[in-house]
Structure 1
Amino acid sequence: MYLPPAFAEHDPDALRALIAAAPLGMLITAGPGGAMANPLPFTQGLEGDRHLLRAHLARANPQIAEIAAAPEVLVVFQLGEAYVSPSWYPTKAETGKVVPTWNYAMVQARGTARLIEGTDFLRPQIEALTEAQEHGRPAPWAVSDAPERFIAAQMRGITGLEIEVGALTGKLKLSQNRTEADRAGVRNGMIDEGVPLARLMPDPGS
């Protein structure tokens, strides 16, 4: 990934928090069948100094064979994107020397994947994934709310996936290369248009 220093995020804790905020990652493989990409919701955890991403795939998913043949994978977590209009920059009125651009935030995780069969992995993974999304809801649903035989049948149709992350890279392109006034203009413009990415831009007045 092209990563100018102004947009780079290197703090592992910050990167893991960003993944937790946008857990639907794009799993990308490059096996014998060529490049392949599928969106999967991930959970994550730390075991000592190992950062692990966990998910599951449908048994019918052809990416399973690609992972078995070539386990080095890339997962891309996209936290948001937005067009940036030059009209948001105060610099437009001062010099006119502005052009449109695009802001976005993403985390890329590279690592080695392994496929895991059996309920010892799958049951905790689906429970953790469910808990992460249901937590705080007025009437949270739990895996145990469904009939046990039904859940067992569902798990027979999926395969577990665990990725040991070897490299974690964050790119937050949030107008850091602009003046403070221009950054404020972009943030305010996004807020006015209801763009969620604005939440990642610091408030200049705070």
Structure 2
Amino acid sequence: MYTPKDFVEARLPVLHDAMRSNPFGTLVTAGEGGIEATHVPFVLARDEGPMGTLYAHVARGNDHIVRHPGEVLAIFTGPHAYISPNGYPGKATHHREVPTWNYIAVHAYGMPETFTDAPRLLDLLTRLTIQSEHDGDQAQPWKLSDAPADYVTPMLRGIVGIRIPLARIEGKWKLGQNRPAEDREGSAQLLNQRAGDNEQAIAEAMRSI
């Protein structure tokens, strides 16, 4: 990922927080058959290994990992927003401004392992369910144990677990760090006038740097 020095984010806790806040990622591989991507929710085990470990699962018919052995890339996309030149004070005087797009992104790399044993799959699905249900802030979160065991067990045979011990993580926080403070504040104010969650999140992130 091309990341000018102004936009580099290398603090592991910050990277982990971004991955955890945006767990639905893209798993990418490249091999003799070309490039392939699968969109999956991930569970991050922060303390498993020096940089953490990712877990996911795919349908057994999805032989993505099997057909593309080697390092994989997991992409996590955070909030993003269009930045209009109208937010820059200089636009009103010299007009020498162009639009851009601000965003937060994390690329995580590692060598994947697959597993199909029922206890590990059940543990992964339990962790993923707890993570997802609590993210939804439901009063009574659904639990995997709410479904009958004789219904869940056969379904485990239809999936493959993926474990990715992370070897490298790249973070890009493109938030106008290369612009004067007044440009960032002007852009943030303009974003605050838009109703989208992405716009509000980017405005807050721009003010926090």
1:146 is matched with which residue?
147
User: d(CA) in 2 for partners of 1:52 and 1:153?
Assistant: 27
Q: Deviations over 1:119-149 (max 9, x none)?
A: 2211111111111111231121010111111
User: d(CA) in 2 for partners of 1:161 and 1:147?
Assistant: 25
Deviation at 1:48, TM superposition (A): 4.6
TM-score normalised by L of structure 2: 0.91
Q: Deviations over 1:93-137 (max 9, x none)?
A: 132111011111100001100111112211111111111111231
Inter-CA distance 203–42: structure 2 relative to 1 (3 Å threshold) = closer
User: d(CA) in 2 for partners of 1:64 and 1:151?
Assistant: 24
Query: How many equivalent residue pairs?
Result: 204
2:106 is matched with which residue?
107
SS at match of 2:111: strand
1:13 is matched with which residue?
13
Q: Which runs of 5+ in 1 are unaligned?
A: none
Tell me if the contact between 2:18 and 2:78 (Cα under 8 Å) persists in the aligned partners: yes
**Correspondence 1:18-97 to 2 at 5 A:** 18-45=18-45, 46-49=47-50, 51-67=52-68, 70-97=69-96
Q: Which runs of 5+ in 2 are unaligned?
A: none
User: d(CA) in 2 for partners of 1:153 and 1:97?
Assistant: 63
User: d(CA) in 1 for partners of 2:115 and 2:22?
Assistant: 24
* Percent of residue pairs identical: 36
CA RMSD between the two structures: 1.8
Inter-CA distance 178–28: structure 2 relative to 1 (3 Å threshold) = same
User: d(CA) in 1 for partners of 2:177 and 2:112?
Assistant: 34
